[in-house]
Amino acid sequence: MKWSLSFLISVSVLFFSCQHPAGSGKATGGTDPLDLSSHDTSVRPQSNFFLYANGAWLKRTVIPPSQSSWGSFSTLRDSISARLYRILDSISRSTSSVKGSIAQQAGDLFYSAMDSAGIERRGLMPVRPELDSIGNIKNTADLMNEIAAEYKVNHGPFISFYVSADDKNSTLNAAHFDQGGLGLPNRDFYFKKDSASVKIRKGYTDYIRQIFTLTGDHPAEADKKAMAIMELETALAKISKGPVALRDPLANYNKESVASLNKTMPGFKNFLKNLGVNADTVLMGQPAFYRGLYALIRKTPLQTLKTYLCFHVLNDDADYLPHDFVNAKFEFNKLLNGQTQMRERWKRMGSMVDQQLGDAIGQLYVQQYFPPEAKQRINEMVDNILTTYGERIRQLDWMSDSTKQKALVKLQAIVKKVGYPDKWKDYSSVTIARDNIISNLKATTHYAYLRDIHKIGKPVDRSEWYMTPPTVNAYYNPTANDVNFPAGILQPPFYFISGDDAVNYGAIGIGIGHEITHGFDDQGRQFDADGNLKEWWTAEDARKFKARAQKIIDQYNGYIAVDTLHVNGDLTQGENIADNGGTAIAYAAFKKTAQGKGDEKIDGLTPDQRFFLAGAQIWRTKNRPEYQRTLALSDPHSPPMWRINGMFSNMPAFYKAFHVEPTDSMYRPDSLRVKIW
């Protein structure tokens, strides 16, 4: 999928009323939603605002051993995990739920995942049919048939295949084929020479070796297989694009006829047939990868390809196999995320149910924790920010009237989706058993697979959601031109029922502005009001935009992510544009409120100071070094400190609120400050 899962990097019983723009703006209920105990007054806000706002919290906070990071997002996720567990524990204990009901399906899926004794007893038996099928491969045709078969039941070897809107014809769904097949986060992890990267590659090789040892291979044979897989995946990485190159929507849009592809890659048409893809054309994200893959499959020994398939079946299912497999995968992942202890099983399996049957558990969740009236209340805030965005576009001094008019048309066409879908997915055809988690994963994945296959060539259902209601995140989808705010994120510390406007606009308001701005970042701006990848800018306006975006890239390139590793300004460009634009828009919308127009202090803080402190509070996050390094190499978001200090240092209103002078570290000369939206 090519939209921006953006407010993060990748729920509460309380819900809150969105203060109307004309509201009093005063905090009520006797509790300040700003956590003043987090402030480190030994740090000047003009020197490092992130540390000033969060320094005391950072000093006293210890990341739980089962977490790779800890902060506002993770504490809220933990709260939601507990609520999901209460729902799932209750329904999983019942044996009287109607067969095929969402309670039976979600409950039995959770029960089967929590049945650790049964999982130990069955051993490798649940995955043995797939391993045997791989073992029976005799030639390349068999291999391609096996890849297609695995795609239907929870695996995705060699490639990335999905169904989504055609970027240039956003009303119709199309089959998309992108690069894939790597076990490490992206191609760069296979080639970087620093000690951490070398250690990760060694750890990955050791993990592969251990997986085969656990299946009964002699250590020498397991070692041979591990080396062969690493060699194959390194070859795959060589023909893959890096994360920055994957950000260009035009370069990664290639519509090709199946007949033509079958000429350059004989057998491709039959592969599509086995996948269930009945289409004359498909979208190839990276055609060079597929040509390289075709050549690689032809020259790689068949046994190596079969070994690769076996490993990835076991790796995909490792979390649901006996504990030795679970532990082996966890030990490797430590190198990427720094966790020292595995998350509790109930949390991991609750997340799995949310992923596999999201609309089932989502319905049960919103019934308890998200009252219907909440949608209308948050919609009012979104409307205020959208209106303010339009005013800002009209006032731009760098954009021509021609492009402004088209930008306003696109802005006005944005669809806001809040809380949960208007219609839920129907899982009634899925059979869930209480005694076989692997079988259940195949069933739920096959349901989703068939649902996607049936979309090809048919109209896009723009009411569909791609996040579940309990998700603590938000996203913008460029082909649908919509912003999506699941129920999970619409609560403290992002939104407070008793909070003043400054805090709410500084927290969830920034998030709303952020998602809207994704429609106008380096990627989103290339899609028109209808969601089509189409040039609607004048050449001069596009040039001016790119010049301003380059200033964003240069600014963030100067920040250190971890140790000596810098933030990748090109990779994080879109999120940084959304952070800067979203904050500026949210602030302007806040200034329309009664509180924003006034100067009444709360707890000694002016309204503007409270706005900026609220923004810093939602990003108070402490990452393990291993995890921060992985993010710096693969994630399009900047580290929390630079998300705050970077965007606030571009805002004159911040300078005024905290008396920032040219001699201060937070100060950036006017010529370097970035203003796009």
Q: Which of 223, 220, 218, 191 is nearest to 205 (CA)?
A: 223
* pLDDT at residue 378, rounded to an integer: 83
* From-to residues of CATH 1.10.1380.10 in the chain: 118-338
Residue type, 27: A
Instruction: Kindly give the pairing relationship between strand 560-562 and strand 565-566.
Output: antiparallel
pLDDT tens digit string along 520-535? 999 999 999 999 999 9
Residue 625 CA to residue 563 CA, distance in Å, equals 8
* pLDDT at residue 8, rounded to an integer: 47
Q: Which of 213, 221, 246, 195 is nearest to 563 (CA)?
A: 195
* pLDDT at residue 263, rounded to an integer: 95
pLDDT tens digit string along 545-554? 999 999 999 9
Report, in this order, helix, strand and coil percent for the chain, each rounded to 5: 55, 10, 35
**Average pLDDT of span 638-658:** 98
pLDDT tens digit string along 558-613? 999 999 999 999 999 999 999 999 999 999 999 999 999 999 999 999 999 999 99
Strand stretches in 300-449, DSSP E:
415-419
User: Is residue 539 within 8 Å of 545, Cβ to Cβ?
Assistant: no
pLDDT tens digit string along 316-350? 999 999 999 999 999 999 999 999 999 999 999 99
**Helical H segments across 3-71, by residue range:** 49-60
Please state, in angstroms and as integers, the Cα–Cα distance from residue 669 to each residue in 36, 183, 651, 655, following that order.
30, 44, 11, 12
Residue with tokens 């919308």: 589
pLDDT tens digit string along 145-195? 999 999 999 899 999 999 999 999 999 999 999 999 999 999 999 999 999
pTM value surpassing 0.85: yes
Topology of the domain covering 118-338:
Neutral endopeptidase; domain 2 (1.10.1380)
* From-to residues of CATH 3.40.390.10 in the chain: 370-423+463-677
User: Is residue 444 within 8 Å of 430, Cβ to Cβ?
Assistant: yes
| Residues pairing with 175 in the sheet | 163
Residue 250 CA to residue 124 CA, distance in Å, equals 44
Residue type, 668: R
CB within 8 Å of 85: residues ≥ 6 apart: 346, 347, 350
Enter the tokens of residue 273.
Answer: 């047939």
CB within 8 Å of 473: residues ≥ 6 apart: 5, 6, 7, 8, 10, 467, 486, 488, 489
| DSSP conformational letter for 506 | I
**Helical H segments across 454-572, by residue range:** 501-504, 510-517, 539-557
pLDDT tens digit string along 109-149? 999 999 999 999 999 999 999 999 999 999 999 999 999 99
Residue 677 CA to residue 675 CA, distance in Å, equals 6
Centroid of chain to Cα 580: 19
Contacts 24+ apart (CB under 8 A), 160-165: 160/285, 161/275, 162/1, 162/452, 163/452, 163/453, 163/455, 163/456, 164/1, 164/2, 164/479, 165/460, 165/479, 165/480, 165/531
Angle between helices 72-93 and 358-369 (to 10 degrees): 100
* pLDDT at residue 615, rounded to an integer: 97
Residue 546 CA to residue 433 CA, distance in Å, equals 54
Architecture per CATH, domain 370-423+463-677, reads as 3-Layer(aba) Sandwich (3.40)
Secondary structure (3-state) at 493: coil
| Residues pairing with 418 in the sheet | 485
Secondary structure (3-state) at 160: strand
Mean pLDDT, rounded, of the chain: 94
Residue type, 510: I
